């Protein structure tokens, strides 16, 4: 038994692993409050602004599983070191990017580096803690750090922007990366599984290009209306994604083992990793614009308003394993969606003249569900596969989070842009661009702000309905799988 008990080195190793985990998740949200400043400095178009925000998430999500398999084959610590170095270089490039195009390119490079970090970090963590009970506790801490990164990203960005220029939100990564590169070789061990899984390069290309074309189609149609380009890109993207799914079923070493989704518990859990992140990112991004551009709050004030929700979200990640032991995964999975739905509905109380208090209430109530979802997804993914596939399994869990984060901004941001285009003054494609136009009369300003709030309410309503539906589906589906939902205990 003593040989299975982790010593101080394992816990210090966990702290070191959390450094890149925190950064990768934090950089998925740190720009939410920074976009008005970036817009003033680089003047990106409406579609470029969305790409600056979500190309990072799409790059991470598209490549996570491939790099998880690479780590399983060639060495997880080696991949962690390479990825951390590349992440630091790309962060420095993004901080000093002189054009929107270069900023998008560096954000994509940061996403590629982030995709090397997450699955290998989770796999190394599993090696540090061989005992199932302690490993579950460590994974809970891992999930809490990942969730905390998403939650505190806008807060850190707001604090930095209060004193420094917009590039500081990227430079903050460099000292953390430096600490990791110094300590990781000392505290972490290289692990080379006996398996020799192969990475199917065509599958990586099909999934990445299919996702990007599909999202480009949605963004283009929302911003400028239906066109031949939008329709063609959408058809091509959907076709590539279908091809990707069919190809996985014929490969000996697929990027995604779709047979896992035959299990209802696993399926609900992975969807629970995707939809809540989509809701959180969309609500955080649009609410940040509402607080600053509609209500006129300073960026630091807007950042501080997010603190209560971030605290609730992080605490729930830590306590969720104990909660699941008491109520079971079925109740936890369903409850998280109902909590998020209620929190999103509270955003409907916001308006042109106020609503900051309702925003705080929304983040606190929904934060309960967000925290549960983050913790359950990671635990389910790692427990579902043999240890030698831990990297690829962790990649599935993190992929659902990262793709959800990117989809929330891309799809829900496009929905809000569509509502603004249809109901706004039709002078510019976004609220901030409209408000920056010279010579606006008060009536036009009021119409633009009202159109944005309508878009925010539309997004909140759609996401709330989706979470209510998924919560009901969890109750219905998982009622037939009670044995699979009984928490596992180690002897």
Rounded mean pLDDT of 397-403?
A: 71
For the chain, give the mean pLDDT: 80
- CA-to-CA distance for 21 and 18, rounded, in angstroms? 5
Q: Which two tokens mark 69?
A: 């398999």
pLDDT in tens, 190-238: 665 545 556 778 887 888 788 878 878 887 777 677 778 888 988 998 9
Out of 19-28, 311-320, 321-330, 334-343, the most confident range is 334-343
pLDDT in tens, 370-391: 888 877 776 666 665 556 555 5
**Does residue 240 fall inside a structural domain?**
no
pLDDT in tens, 238-267: 999 999 888 988 887 777 777 767 767 677
For 15-39, letters b (16+ CB in 10 Å) and e give ebbbbbbbbbbbbbbbbbbbbbbbb
Rounded mean pLDDT of 415-442?
A: 82
- The burial of 241, by beta-carbon neighbours within 10 Å (0-12 exposed, 13-18 middle, 19 or more buried), is given as middle
Q: Which two tokens mark 317?
A: 């990640």
Rounded mean pLDDT of 110-123?
A: 78
Closest CA to 366 of 346, 345, 343: 343
* Terminal CA-CA length for the chain: 10
pLDDT of residue 358: 94
Rounded mean pLDDT of 274-302?
A: 86
CATH code of the domain containing 367: 1.20.1250.20
pLDDT of residue 5: 60
Rounded mean pLDDT of 119-129?
A: 72
Instruction: Indicate whether 416 pLDDT > 70.
Output: yes
pLDDT of residue 293: 86
- CA-to-CA distance for 355 and 3, rounded, in angstroms? 55
Rounded mean pLDDT of 269-286?
A: 85
pLDDT of residue 485: 47
Give the model's confidence band at 450: pLDDT under 50 very low, under 70 low, under 90 confident, else very high: very high
Q: Give residue 423's Cα distance to chain centre.
A: 30
For residue 298, give the 3-state DSSP assignment: coil
Number of independent structural domains in the chain: 1
**Higher model confidence: residue 192 or residue 118?**
118
Helix count and strand count (H, E) for the chain:
19, 0
Whether residue 381 contacts residue 394, with contact meaning beta carbons closer than 8 Å, is answered with yes
Instruction: Indicate whether 338 pLDDT > 90.
Output: yes
Name the DSSP class of 262.
Answer: G
What lies within 8 Å, CB to CB, of 154 at 6+ separation is: 29, 30, 32, 33, 284, 288, 302, 303, 306
**Does residue 233 fall inside a structural domain?**
no
- CA-to-CA distance for 2 and 488, rounded, in angstroms? 21
pLDDT of residue 186: 80
**Higher model confidence: residue 249 or residue 131?**
249
Number of Cβ within 10 Å of residue 47's Cβ equals: 18
- CA-to-CA distance for 452 and 458, rounded, in angstroms? 10
Name the DSSP class of 294.
Answer: I
H-state helical runs in 75-172? 76-95, 100-128, 132-163, 168-171
- CA-to-CA distance for 300 and 164, rounded, in angstroms? 12
- The burial of 92, by beta-carbon neighbours within 10 Å (0-12 exposed, 13-18 middle, 19 or more buried), is given as middle
pLDDT in tens, 309-321: 888 887 887 788 7
pTM of the predicted model over 0.85: no
pLDDT of residue 339: 94
- CA-to-CA distance for 402 and 277, rounded, in angstroms? 8
**Does residue 246 fall inside a structural domain?**
no
**Does residue 412 fall inside a structural domain?**
yes
**Does residue 223 fall inside a structural domain?**
no
- CA-to-CA distance for 382 and 235, rounded, in angstroms? 34
Percentage, residues of the chain above pLDDT 90: 16
Rounded mean pLDDT of 354-369?
A: 92
Q: How far is CA 462 from CA 14, 214, 253, 281, 283, in A?
A: 38, 20, 37, 14, 11
- CA-to-CA distance for 218 and 214, rounded, in angstroms? 7
Find the length of the chain. Answer: 491
Instruction: Indicate whether 433 pLDDT > 50.
Output: yes
Whether residue 300 contacts residue 463, with contact meaning beta carbons closer than 8 Å, is answered with no
Rounded mean pLDDT of 270-298?
A: 86
For helices 173-187 and 76-95, give the axis angle rounded to 10 degrees.
170
pLDDT in tens, 45-94: 767 777 887 788 777 777 776 776 676 666 677 788 888 899 999 999 99
- CA-to-CA distance for 119 and 121, rounded, in angstroms? 5
pLDDT of residue 267: 75
**Does residue 198 fall inside a structural domain?**
no
Residue that the structure tokens 């959180």 belong to: 280
What lies within 8 Å, CB to CB, of 418 at 6+ separation is: 222, 223, 455
pLDDT of residue 487: 42
Q: Give residue 282's Cα distance to chain centre.
A: 10
- The burial of 367, by beta-carbon neighbours within 10 Å (0-12 exposed, 13-18 middle, 19 or more buried), is given as buried
**Does residue 490 fall inside a structural domain?**
no
**Does residue 455 fall inside a structural domain?**
yes
Number of Cβ within 10 Å of residue 82's Cβ equals: 16
Instruction: Indicate whether 444 pLDDT > 70.
Output: yes
Give the model's confidence band at 484: pLDDT under 50 very low, under 70 low, under 90 confident, else very high: very low
In which domain, by residue range, is 474 found?
10-186+253-485
pLDDT of residue 211: 80
Whether residue 389 contacts residue 377, with contact meaning beta carbons closer than 8 Å, is answered with no
Q: Taking CA 374 as the corner, what is the angle to CA 454 and CA 136, rounded to the nearest 5 degrees? A: 170
Q: Taking CA 74 as the corner, what is the angle to CA 70 and CA 77, rounded to the nearest 5 degrees? A: 95
**Higher model confidence: residue 167 or residue 476?**
167
């Amino acid at each position: 038994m003593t040989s299975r008990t982790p010593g101080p080195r394992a816990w210090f190793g966990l702290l070191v692993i959390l450094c890149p985990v925190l950064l990768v998740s934090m950089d998925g949200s740190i720009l939410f409050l920074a976009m008005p400043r970036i817009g003033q400095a680089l003047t990106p178009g409406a579609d470029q602004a969305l790409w600056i925000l979500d190309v990072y998430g799409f790059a991470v999500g598209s490549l996570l599983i491939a790099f998880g398999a690479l780590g399983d084959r060639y060495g997880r610590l080696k991949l962690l070191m390479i990825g951390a170095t590349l992440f630091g270089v790309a962060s420095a490039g993004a901080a000093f990017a002189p054009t929107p195009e270069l900023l998008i390119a560096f954000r994509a490079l940061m996403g590629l580096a982030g995709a090397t970090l997450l699955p290998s970090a989770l796999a190394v963590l599993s090696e540090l803690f061989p005992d199932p009970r302690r490993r579950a506790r460590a994974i809970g801490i891992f999930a809490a750090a990942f969730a905390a990164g998403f939650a505190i990203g806008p807060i850190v960005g707001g604090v930095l922007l209060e004193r420094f220029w917009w590039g500081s939100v990227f430079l903050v990564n460099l000292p953390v990366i430096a600490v990791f590169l110094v300590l990781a070789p000392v505290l972490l061990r290289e692990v080379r599984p006996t398996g020799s899984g192969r990475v199917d390069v065509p599958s990586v290309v099909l999934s990445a290009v299919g996702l990007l074309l599909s999202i480009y189609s949605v963004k283009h149609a929302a911003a400028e209306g239906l066109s031949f380009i939008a329709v063609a890109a959408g058809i091509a993207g959907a076709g590539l994604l279908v091809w990707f799914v069919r190809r996985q079923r014929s490969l000996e070493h697929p990027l995604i083992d779709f047979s896992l989704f035959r299990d209802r518990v696993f399926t609900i859990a992975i969807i629970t990793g995707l939809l809540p992140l989509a809701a959180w990112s969309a609500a955080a991004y649009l609410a940040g614009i509402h607080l600053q551009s509609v209500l006129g709050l300073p960026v630091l004030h807007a950042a501080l308003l997010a603190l209560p929700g971030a605290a609730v979200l992080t605490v729930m990640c830590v306590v969720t394993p104990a909660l699941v032991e008491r109520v079971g995964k079925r109740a936890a999975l369903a409850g998280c969606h109902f909590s998020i739905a209620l929190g999103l509905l509270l955003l409907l109380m916001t308006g042109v003249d106020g609503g900051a208090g309702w925003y705080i209430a929304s983040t606190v109530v929904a934060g309960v569900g967000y925290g549960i979802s983050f913790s359950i997804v990671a635990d389910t993914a790692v427990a579902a596969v043999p240890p030698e596939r831990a990297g690829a399994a962790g990649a599935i869990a993190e992929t659902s989070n990262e793709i959800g984060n990117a989809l929330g901004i891309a799809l829900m941001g496009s929905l809000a842009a569509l509502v603004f285009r249809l109901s706004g003054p039709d002078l510019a494609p976004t609220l901030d661009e409209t408000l920056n136009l010279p010579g606006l009369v008060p009536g036009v300003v009021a119409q633009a702000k009202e159109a944005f709030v309508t878009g925010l309410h539309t997004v909140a309503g759609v996401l709330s309905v989706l979470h209510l539906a998924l919560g009901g589906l969890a109750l219905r589906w998982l009622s037939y799988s009670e044995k699979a939902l009984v928490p596992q205990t180690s002897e």
